[in-house]
Amino acid sequence: MKRILKITSFIIFTTVLLSSGIISKNISSGINLNSAVAIRDDTTSLIHMIDVDSFRLEILPPSSGVQFYKDGIVFLSLSKYENKMSPNHISFGVVEAYYASVEDSVLGKHMIFSPSSSFSYPCEAMTFSRDYNTVYFTKLSKKDRKEKIFMAKFGSDSKNQTNLFPEIIPLDFCADDYAFSHPTLSSDGTMMIFASDIKGSFGGMDLFVSRLADGKWSVPENLGKFINSAGNEFFPFLDSENNLFFSSDGLPGYGGYDIFTCKFNGVDWDKPINLSDRINSDMDDIAFTINKTDGKSGFLPEGKNQENVICNYSELH
C-alpha cells in the first residue's frame, strides 16, 4: 500500500480499475462535503476545495467501486490479492467481496466479507442500514435476468459465525421486465433511492424514491425532470444528511457521466450541482460514495470509457 501523503478533512478515493490504482481527492479548509453542499450553488467554489493524492487497491468487474462498512470498506477482488488472507476459507483466484479497515488512510488486513456464503456482487451497488444488520444489494433476477434489488440480513449460522442471509426474491416494487439497481438508504432507513427504467422514466435509467411505511416499501416515485434527464442517471448515494449524489450522462457536464449533488431540503432535493472538473473528467465518472460515519471520506472510480461502464452493468451476477 502507498500511504496517502496529505490528509485534510475530506478524502475521496478514486479507483483506476484497469491499472489497480487509486487517486484520492481531498476537500480542504476544514469544510466537510455536507457543509459544502449546503452553501455552494456553483462549481467555481468547489474547485478550490479539492486536492489530489493516491494509494493502490485492486478492484475487479463487475464492481466499479467500493462501499463503506463500519470502520472500513467492502470491495470486490480476487482471493490472491492479499497473501495475508486465510487460505483455508477460499481458493486462490476466487472473486469475492472483502472487508478492510481503514486506519490513518491505510487499508488494514483484508477479510472475507461473508465467510460462509459467497458474496460476489458489485459493492458500490449495495447499501447498509444504520446498525449494519441489513444490506440491500443488486443482482440479476433468475426470473427475467434483469437487475433487481434484494435484501439480506446478518445473523449467526449453525457454527455461531456471523454471516449474510439473503432473501430469495427481490423487493416487492421490483417489477418484471424492468431493471432496478444501485439502492441507497436515507440516514433513518425510511427512504430508498435507486436507478430504474420503469414506466414514467424521462430517459434510459432514472432515479426513483420508495418510502418505508409499516414494514413495506411504497410504489416508486420519479425524482422529477430537474434531476432526471433524457439520458441516464445512475449510482445514487445519500449521505448522512440525505444530500443526494449521482452520475448522469444527460445533464450538462465535462463528458460522459459526470457526478452531481443535490441538497436535501427536508422534503425533496434541490437542483443538481456539478461537482466540478476537479472530480469530473471528459470520461465517465461514476460510483461516488461517502463514509456516513464521519461525513469526510469518500470514494469514486477514476473516469473510464462508457463501453466499460455498460459492460459492468451487463455483468451483474
**Looking at per-residue confidence, does 315 or 175 come out higher?**
175
Tally of CA atoms within 13 A in the half-sphere of 213 that contains its CB? 5
- Bridging pattern class, strands 10-16 and 297-301: parallel
pLDDT above 90 covers a percentage of the chain that reads 36
Residue 166 has pLDDT above 90, yes or no: no
Asked whether the predicted pLDDT for residue 1 surpasses 50, the reply is no
Q: Does domain 10-314 have CATH number 2.120.10?
A: yes
Q: What is the pLDDT of residue 307?
A: 45
Query: Of 296, 303, 278, 258, nearest to 68 (Cα)?
Result: 296
Side-by-side strand order, sheet with 244-248: 233-238, 244-248, 258-262, 273-274
- Give 89's pLDDT tier (boundaries 50, 70, 90): very low
Q: What is the mean pLDDT of residues 76-89?
A: 55
Residues in the chain: 317
Kindly state the average pLDDT of the residues 241-259.
92
User: What mean pLDDT is predicted for residues 179-191?
Assistant: 95
The least confident of 9-13, 76-80, 135-139, 306-310 is 9-13
Q: Give me the percent of the chain exceeding a pLDDT of 70.
A: 68
Q: What is the pLDDT of residue 29?
A: 28
d(CA 304, CA 107): 24
Whole-prediction pTM: 0.79
